[in-house]
Chains A and B, each alone.
Chain A
Amino acid sequence: MKNKIYHSLFFLGLICKSYGKVNYTSSTDNSSNVNINNYQEPKNNFTISGYITESGSGENLLGASIYVPELKRGTTTNDYGFFSLSLPKGKHTVYISTIGYTTIIKEVDIKGDISLNITLETDTQSLDEVIVSAESKVKESKVTQMSKIQINPSTVADIPALLGEKDVLKTLQLLPGIQAGSEGSSGFFVRGGTPDQNLIILDDAVVYNSNHLFGFFSVFNGDAIKSVEAFKGGFPARFGGRLSSVIKIDMKDGNKEKLSGKVNIGLISSSLLLEGPINKGKTSFIFSGRRTYADILAQPFLSEENGKGGYYFADLNFKIHHIFSEKDKLYWSNYYGRDKFYSSFKDQYTDEKVKLGWGNITSTLRWNHQFNDKLFANTSLIYSNYDFNISDEYTDTYDENVVEYLFKTNSGIEDLTLKTSFDYYPNSKNTLRFGAEITSHSFTPQRILLKDTYAEDIDKTEELNSLEGAMYIENDWKITDKLRSSLGLRLSYFNYNDTNYINPETRLALSYNVKPDLALKASYAKMNQYIHLLSSSGIGLPTDLWVSSTDNVKPQSSQQFAVGIAKDFFDKDYSLTLEGYYKNMNDIIAYKEGASFLALDNLESGADLDWEENITAGEGWAYGAEILLRKQTGKLTGWLGYTLSWSERQFEELNNGNKFYDRYDRRHDISAVGIYKPSDRFTFSATWVLSTGNNYTLPNLQRIGGNFPIAGSNFFNRGLQDITTQRNNFRGETSHRLDLAWQFHKKKKKGRERTWAISLYNAYARQNPFIYTVDTKYPNYNDPNGTEEKELTRTSVLILIPSVNYIFKF
């Protein structure tokens, strides 16, 4: 194992060293933010490079466009706001723009390499936007990447949310191809995949459980988020390790100019955001915290004699950004999130305390280094941890006898990752990205501690350790003015005990502009997934268990093909994308029939458990089409999305080996989102969603049981029995819902602002299915003609939920 780590470190070091030798020209800032180097090579093309930041806060803006219309050349900023563009000698007009900010037009006279740092004003400072050059913005028809959606955090803040809790993941569920699980859940399913096939990364760190309160809320506090990108297919080679999606969430870096903050007081939780400079212009921090307080409010009504208890969840985000120099920057971001149930009971005989908790901790240390105006590097050291624990402790005292009992169990996963990535801009036609990463996984499927006065102590731990690594290279190549490609290769590696898996993964994306505003696109992505989630419910219960690929459990793999059309309507600033996809998945896992997270059943007995014996591997197929009509600027913004999809599975040990539709196979999903901002004092938003019901497995027939003579568990089962002839044989009712939100803003002195936000979830009180159960309606047993009958009962939740929030920004 150590050798492998040393080899990996050596490899990472080699990359750094070789690219560190690339010659570069130095450039320094001056007050005008534009610097022409004194040293110039006798060449015709020069490079402008620099950072795009937000005015007033100094936040780096990722994905901003830098475009020269007369040359039809452009680029976008990387994740850290850095860009590099080669331009010929001479005078040029450069447009710098991104959604939500006013466009800057800058005349530059290229005589040598230039360092150009630009700040953009937010749109709210100029509501009546003037579209200076439609082509200057990043348009769907202008990018090679397909199956990617970027969400502005302000959109998350504007749209209606359950109980006023702004939720990134629930916003993503409103987009085509990303489907919600059950009603109100923040768990999601991308293009027929499963929740564990979604790679959710917060500032480079993997977040293993993205749910609070059994999935009703996500762990991401919208206040601290800078950007959200979702990839559903056509994955760039820099991403890997999951089959179905990458959700990349970046935290704000903190305001470098002034101390600012935000207080949000809601019905179930409140949050505080504070950000500002530690050393103005050099070092900034951001802190945000959120906690629910239903348990605190309920305390006065509870007493220990009758049993006390409660539930809360809390999130903390903390980040420091330090600029050593123009070329070296450091980011240290941290997340801590926790859900906790607790109860206690105490009287003269008994003293009992029960706790149940789960949560994530992530910490990312990132170092940006700009080797020269063409080469940018980032190196990250990442820690990620998820754990779930239960404890029950009691003491019974009768006369002089004391009975003590202690039971503790926990499961989880802990990762340590080293990662380096390079962005290289050799010329205006190519952007090269390459890098490597290595992760040490420590899984604890189960750890049990049991101490009982009347039984033997049990203290056992099951641990799995594995190593996951990857190297990748990708190139965005503008072949002609009309044809662009993105070709990538990722070599992934996984080690568990003596088993090694090495898999090459090809990634390809093509885009051809039939017209300037119309592009045809195609993509292919091969993916491998080495860690798996054992989930009984698919709704994000904390008992869901992350496990490693092993000698017996193979990695999951998939291939996805997608084709699409992207059309921009420049004059009205609409965009339309239409995509079709086909994905096949191999070695996906599922619980065997009747199996679950058995630990909960057998925990207290301390029975030996083998999760590998309770799972089975099979194949999956997902295919469908998605349409997204989107408007991102102006007073009225929003989108209309539609998904037509199929998702099938086949396992030798499930459904008698026959193919079946997945539980979340849903034929139709429609979502409409509208945000209307007539002035800077008022925001109105509405969302409407409709989706075909989920599939459930329920008994569909009843019959008289057989007569097998061996005495065993069938001994008493010779009467009527319910049977199910097909997995997922029952499709639930169609769900639909309208959510509304009103926000009233008032600007105050010194840039302060207060907002009253009122929202109404499920405004017309639709009783959407959350779960179905079969219950028996018993007759009057004195009636000789009495009959009993089974009924199907639908449980609905979240019917007409109003909420109000008070938000104060300073």
Chain B
Amino acid sequence: MRKVLLALLVLYISLIGCQKVVDADELLDTKEQVSIIGYISPHDTILKISVTKALPAIGTPVKINQDYQFPEEFLIKDAVVTLSNAEGNSIVLNYDNETNTYITSASNLTISHGATYNLKVVVAEDKFNASCQIPKQLESINEIIEFHEDEYGNDLAVINLNFKDFVDEDNYYILGGFINTTLEYENEEPFSYEYPIYFGDDEFLIDNINEGAELNGKTEISVDSEYYSDIKMTLQVAHVEKALFENIKTTRTNDDVDGNPFIEYAIAPNSILDDGAIGVFAGFSVTEKIIYLEN
């Protein structure tokens, strides 16, 4: 009797739900676009603009590349990419097969704080324009670092990074950094190692509530003295344009919510002025501070 009841239960459940792959073409009206991404700053030695294809996310077969290169079907190698400043000086960027971006030496066009720059991209018959303004650089950033052990005996550093916001229009900041160290395991040769510093929820800061105030971000990282030596900590604060801020934040948000059907995807910003392209052309300036930690 139990088996019969169980079988009926299984049959019943199988009746009430099913999954099926459906043709997205009829439901999601998506056309191929040009993707343009370029972030420029006065600290760049090479100016890079990425011009590639944005292809439909669903239903586009993408060839797996064993060499970790970008898939060929996304690349656009014959675009004409021109950067110019407000004074009318312009420079054409050339396609670089190694990075799959359009590049030029920063010495060809000086990038200055507060200056405006224009980008023009021509792909076949289509022309796309965008402009950006380089944000001001922070005067300084300060940090308070405290050390403690967790319950498993690992050495941790609590970093409290703070800086003074500019008193003017809305400002956007991205916090980050990295650790360079030498790792040495027992019976192994020591080797150099770099890993990023995540500021978690404090990675993206806006001054809309605390205009002109002291802003700060806090994080905790492992600095295990048993294996690490010569720890060099580079703390970074990028003062960025809104479009850049939203583009990076959107990527992170969507990575975080991926697979959760109850959270809406964040929408990618678009600072390209003409139809047919999506992307962000924006300026930023970075302030760094290097701290050496003693074991």
Q: Which residues of A contact B (CB under 8 A)?
A: 297, 300-301, 454, 536-537, 541, 591, 593-596, 654-656, 693, 697-715, 717, 719-727, 729-733, 767, 770-774, 779, 781, 784-801
Contact = CB atoms under 8 A, between A and B. Distances in A.
A778 B38 CA distance: 31
Contacts of B255: 713, 717
B4 to A, nearest CB: 12
A697 B264 contact: yes
A701 B28 contact: no
Nearest to A800: B15
A698 B58 contact: yes
A771 B256 CA distance: 20
Which secondary structure dominates where chain B touches chain A?
A: mixed
Contact of B253 (A536, A593, A771, A798): A593
Contacts of B71: 720
B20 A793 contact: yes
A786 B64 contact: yes
Interface residues of B, number: 84
B70 interface: yes
Contacts of B248: 708, 713-714
Contacts of B38: 706
B257 interface: yes
B35 A784 contact: no
11 contacts: A537-B262, A594-B266, A697-B264, A698-B265, A704-B52, A711-B236, A723-B254, A723-B278, A724-B268, A770-B17, A793-B22
B263 A536 contact: yes
A725 B267 contact: yes
Contacts of B134: none
B52 to A, nearest CB: 5
Given A699-B58, A703-B53, 16 more contacts: A454-B151, A537-B262, A593-B267, A596-B260, A698-B58, A701-B30, A707-B48, A712-B199, A713-B198, A714-B248, A714-B252, A723-B278, A724-B267, A767-B18, A786-B64, A792-B59
Most B C-beta atoms less than 10 A away, residue of A595, A700, A730, A773: A700
Contact of B50 (A706, A792, A798): A706
Given A723-B54, A774-B58, A791-B21, A713 B252 contact: yes
A704 B69 CA distance: 11
B256 A594 contact: yes
B19 A793 contact: yes
A704 B101 CA distance: 10
Contacts of B18: 767, 795-796, 799
Contacts of A722: 57, 254
A711 B196 contact: yes
B111 interface: no
Contacts of A784: 66
Interface string B30-65: 100101011100000000101011111111111110
Nearest to A715: B196
B250 interface: yes
Contacts of A715: 196
B19 A797 contact: no
Nearest to B238: A710
A708 B244 contact: yes
Contacts of A594: 253-254, 256-257, 263-264, 266
Given A705-B37, A787-B64, A797 B286 contact: no
A795 B262 contact: no
B17 A796 contact: yes
Contacts of B81: none
Interface stretch (B119-127, B172-180, B224-232): B172-180
B251 A792 contact: no
Contacts of B66: 784
A146 to B, nearest CB: 35
B263 A702 contact: no
A654 B267 contact: yes
B39 A706 contact: yes
A301 B57 contact: no
Contacts of A732: 27
A785 B72 CA distance: 13
Interface in B155-187: 174-178
Nearest to B247: A706
Given A301-B2, A767-B20, A702 B264 contact: no
A165 to B, nearest CB: 14
Contacts of A726: 267
Contacts of B24: 791-792
B16 interface: yes
A593 B264 contact: yes
A703 B75 CA distance: 10
Given A699-B265, A771-B261, A709 B62 contact: no
Contacts of A785: 63
Contact of A727 (B59, B252, B267): B267
Contact of B57 (A702, A719, A787, A794): A702
